[in-house]
Amino acid sequence: MLPMRFTALALACNAALAQQQQGFNANGMPEPPSLTKTAMNLFDKDHNGAVTLKETQETLSGLAAFGAMGSEPGKQSDIEKMITQAKAWMPQFFKLLDSDSSGTLSEGEVEWVEKGLEAAKTNVFKNLTRDIFETLDVNSDATLAPDELEAAVEPEMYAKLVALIVEAFPLPGLTSDTSQALVKANLQGIVAALDGDGNGSIERKEAGVAHGNFKRAFIKAAESLKTMGPMLAMFGGGDMGGMGGGMPMGGMPGGRGRGGGSRGARRN
């Protein structure tokens, strides 16, 4: 959980961004920016309308540093652990989102995250997990054996899986020419992430557990982005280098970093 003062600051920044971008609703209250807008403001560090993989990784590092604030020394917070995993998978995930293979993500491609949050809060991912499992489990023994898992990247089976995913929840890059090779190259890592007991096969229960873990992690990550994103975007888009790994605080009242904040603190 974020310290109260950071949570309050995040809400204030959220409201400020909302007034700049979304205007006001019928009740005169500022409309919060969408998760897509928040992500673009945060990850598009040079504000050119496109997000590079480098910008993504740098921003994730900033989010991890921010999430470490207030945690026990030498112990990773839940946010840090989550972001460490996200950084490891980001190069592959980035390519799947990059549907036009441009090397950058447009706002339309980043919008997948917001759609993913909506799907995670319903049964879309649960039903998709079941359908994929049943398609791969050709002998219906409730276990995906190594040969069934390897068949997932063969052209005919891969086409069936892509059709299931696109029907339930379109992931832009899955229909690109390079997606099959990308999934095939990372098949071992994908299987390892799902294989809870490490026996090389995936049982139905393991698939269910993996779905539950993914759903909780995805929702938590997206909600954290909605909470912290506006504040970090206003303070440099995730650039956390100003305090030896912490957020540059010089421009914040009472801060002790670079800028006028330290002088103000001494006068007080």
Mean pLDDT computed over every residue of the chain: 77
> What pLDDT digit, counting tens, does each position of 235-258 carry?
655 454 433 333 333 333 334 343
Percent of the chain with pLDDT over 70: 73
| Interval 52-76 mean pLDDT | 80
Q: Are 254 and 261 in contact (CB under 8 A)?
A: yes
pLDDT of residue 23: 53
Quick check: 70 pLDDT over 70?
no
CB 98 within 8 A of CB 104: yes
pLDDT at 32: 67
Per the model's pLDDT, the better-predicted residue between 212 and 74 turns out to be: 212
Give the pLDDT of residue 5. Answer: 46
Reported as a single tens digit per residue, the pLDDT across 3-18 is 444 444 454 555 554 4
Average pLDDT in the 118-128 region?
A: 89
pLDDT value at position 51?
96
Alpha carbon 221 to its chain's center = 6
In this prediction, residue 87 carries a pLDDT of: 87
Closest CA to 62 of 210, 234, 255: 234
pLDDT digits (tens, 9 = 90+) for 150-209: 999 999 999 999 999 888 877 777 877 778 888 888 888 889 989 999 999 999 999 999
Q: Domain coordinates of the chain in residue numbers?
A: 4-87+111-242
pTM given for the model:
0.69
Are the CB atoms for 32 and 14 separated by under 8 Å?
A: yes
Lowest mean pLDDT among 25-34, 98-107, 233-242: 233-242
